[in-house]
Amino acid sequence: MKVSSVRVPGLRRRKVSVLPGVTATARIDRRTKRLTKRLRPGEVAIIDHVDIDRVSAEALVACGVAVVVNVAASVSGRYPNLGPQILLEAGVTLVDNATPDLFEKVRDGDTVRVSDGVVYVDEEIAGKGEVMTAETVEAAMVEARAGLSVQIEAFTVNTMEYVRRERDLLIDGVGVPDIRTKLDGRHALIVVRGYHYKEDIAALRPYIREYRPVMIGVDGGADALLEAGYRPDIIVGDFDSVSDEALTGGAELVVHAYPDGRAPGLDRVRKLGRDAVVFPAAATSEDIAMLLADEKGASLIVAVGTHATLVEFLDKGRSGMASTFLTRLRLGSKLIDAKGVSRLYRSRISAASLLLLVATTIVTIGVVLFVSPVGKIWLDGAQDVWNGFIFWVVGLFS
């Protein structure tokens, strides 16, 4: 019997086309620090940030961003900002000077593909920009360093303008509101979520444990304190980058308002059922926190994550950073950077003092045992135990 063979057609495997570039969810916001609150690892950040500063870049890297698409110039040439270099060193793709209408063509949460500087939505081109490399960033930085003198001149002009507008606040403390938290004669620790704030707080733990300073968080600095295991006593800021947990944690709230009295952050505080003190000033929030602590009698102000150098002032990207410079002039030696405290701080009880205390205690106990009747009985008993131990050892070898 002949069995006919039946040919079964083989199953063809589908070819899965892998498109070049990075395909991920897009998060879009014109304010970088607001965007980082909802950015997840592997996503694409679409921002509008001239001169990406160091703090913003570190926040983006910490979120695990895969691609940053900037519709502005990441290095405008005003000064040598550090943000783009930090992003590239972390392996993040940076697309610079992208098409501005990306903010109209891409919605938050859309799936996009970024390849060679082109942004696709549903495989249609939504915008394009220039992919930054280490070489292009370095060339832009060289040009920016050459133009730094212009920024120093502008910084000087801004400083004089701030003196003219806020001389009463700077010189006499006029306009500083009353608060219920007592700072007179105490140390104040002001925390801004800026440069290396986590490391600085960790290094200050012995200082905090011994001196128990008044904890003042500036906006997101309040959350930095909570993350480190501390509760802020005062929170100062416009409250656009601080959590509800921090605002409802019992700290005294000081809302930074515009000079004309408008305080956008006050509405948020009231919605949370909290009261707040309003502090109108043209200065930055970290500056009014320092002025507040100084005016209320703090004997020492320790700053964490704040701006201390000229490049850091410019890296903040605000002409108002002139207020930071002048605030530091007013506070003088009362203001100390956290790094200086952690390097110079020593416990008021030295190791030699502890050894002397232990030795004195042992001698005192010995004298008491020797001269008191109870001590003599205890010593006789200890001697009997010791003699019994010696006899037992000798018996093992006899």
pLDDT of the residue at 16: 41
Report residue 165's pLDDT band, with 50, 70 and 90 as the boundaries. Answer: low
More confident residue, 60 or 37: 60
Instruction: Assess whether pLDDT exceeds 70 at residue 243.
Output: yes
In this structure, is the dihedral angle defined by the CA atoms of residues 246, 249, 251 and 255, taken in order, positive or negative?
positive
How do residues 365-398 score in pLDDT, each as one tens digit?
A: 766 666 667 666 766 677 777 777 677 766 666 5
Which domains does the chain possess?
22-145 (3.50.30.10), 148-344 (no CATH)
pLDDT of the residue at 53: 87
Q: How far apart are the first and last CA of the chain?
A: 102
How do residues 252-283 score in pLDDT, each as one tens digit?
A: 999 999 888 888 889 999 999 999 999 988 88
Report residue 12's pLDDT band, with 50, 70 and 90 as the boundaries. Answer: very low
Distance CA 314, CA 322 (A): 9
Instruction: Assess whether pLDDT exceeds 70 at residue 5.
Output: no
Instruction: Assess whether pLDDT exceeds 50 at residue 13.
Output: no
In this structure, is the dihedral angle defined by the CA atoms of residues 84, 89, 95 and 100, taken in order, positive or negative?
negative
pLDDT of the residue at 283: 80
In this prediction, residues 129-148 reach a mean pLDDT of 87
How do residues 299-353 score in pLDDT, each as one tens digit?
A: 999 999 876 666 666 665 555 566 777 777 788 888 888 877 766 655 455 556 6
pLDDT of the residue at 351: 59
Read off the amino acid at residue 102: L
In this prediction, residues 9-21 reach a mean pLDDT of 57
pLDDT of the residue at 271: 92
When the pLDDT of each residue in the chain is averaged and rounded to a whole number, the result is: 83
Decide if 235 contacts 217 (C-beta within 8 A). Answer: yes
How do residues 97-132 score in pLDDT, each as one tens digit?
A: 999 999 999 999 999 999 999 999 999 999 999 999
pLDDT of the residue at 110: 95
pLDDT of the residue at 367: 67
pLDDT of the residue at 10: 47
More confident residue, 298 or 158: 298
How do residues 184-241 score in pLDDT, each as one tens digit?
A: 999 999 999 887 788 889 889 989 998 999 999 999 999 999 999 999 999 999 998 8
pLDDT of the residue at 15: 44
More confident residue, 90 or 142: 90
pLDDT of the residue at 1: 44
pLDDT of the residue at 328: 79
CA gyration radius, the chain: 32
- Of 143, 35, 156, whose CA–CA distance to 81 is shortest? 143
pLDDT of the residue at 264: 86
Report residue 168's pLDDT band, with 50, 70 and 90 as the boundaries. Answer: low
Distance CA 121, CA 101 (A): 13
How do residues 39-60 score in pLDDT, each as one tens digit?
A: 999 999 999 999 998 889 999 9
